[in-house]
Amino acid sequence: MEDDFAVSFLNLIEAHVASFFRDKGCKPSHIRKVHQILKDGWKIAHPFASMDLRTDQRKIILNRVKDAALIDIEKNQLVLETARPFLLKIDYDTTSRLAVQWNIAEGVVINPKIGFGKPVIAKTGVSTSIIANQYLANQRDVALVARMFDIPRDGVVKAFEFERKFGRVAA
């Protein structure tokens, strides 16, 4: 279909990181400018999916790999050490330095190599949607659903809470 639009995992991570920077106080114009500098000037295909970015709540900073120096990307200048809030919800590949997994909620991950990139229970690969629906279909019997899928009981609860939070199942 011509109207179909797909978002890659790295595009999803970039949107999440841009939102993170905005929530931390970076202005949208600064976020767009830094993204453009990194993409066009520094030739980084998915700049906001890189594990090397930080923020001091005003600007986006690159944590340079070779010497751990902090660089104000927009001004291309070294900056003083500041608190380094790290995007802890994202796991990165140490070789490519790009995002590989998003810990989107407690006990729930999105990984493009697991479950076709749909939310799954961490360390199990079992779809949160399937678990939440089975939980409801089996009169909210946590133990039964956990046995059916050979997953921890708290995984059933976390899957249901995740799906309920995002309105994908009836409460």
pLDDT tens for 98-128 read 889 999 899 999 999 999 899 999 999 999 9
**Residues 114, 147: one domain?**
yes
What is the distance between the alpha carbons of residues 91 and 77, in angstroms, rounded to a whole number? Answer: 27
DSSP character for 140? Answer: T
CB 78 within 8 A of CB 71: yes
Q: Domain span at residue 51?
A: 9-86
DSSP character for 117? Answer: G
What is the distance between the alpha carbons of residues 143 and 137, in angstroms, rounded to a whole number? Answer: 13
pLDDT tens for 79-91 read 755 434 444 578 8
Residue 100 lies in a domain: no
Residue 25 lies in a domain: yes
Residue 171 lies in a domain: no
Q: Classify 18 as helix, strand or coil.
A: helix
**Residues 119, 75: one domain?**
no
How many angstroms from the chain centroid is the CA of residue 33? 21
Residue 22 lies in a domain: yes
How many separate domains does the chain show?
2
Residue 154 lies in a domain: yes
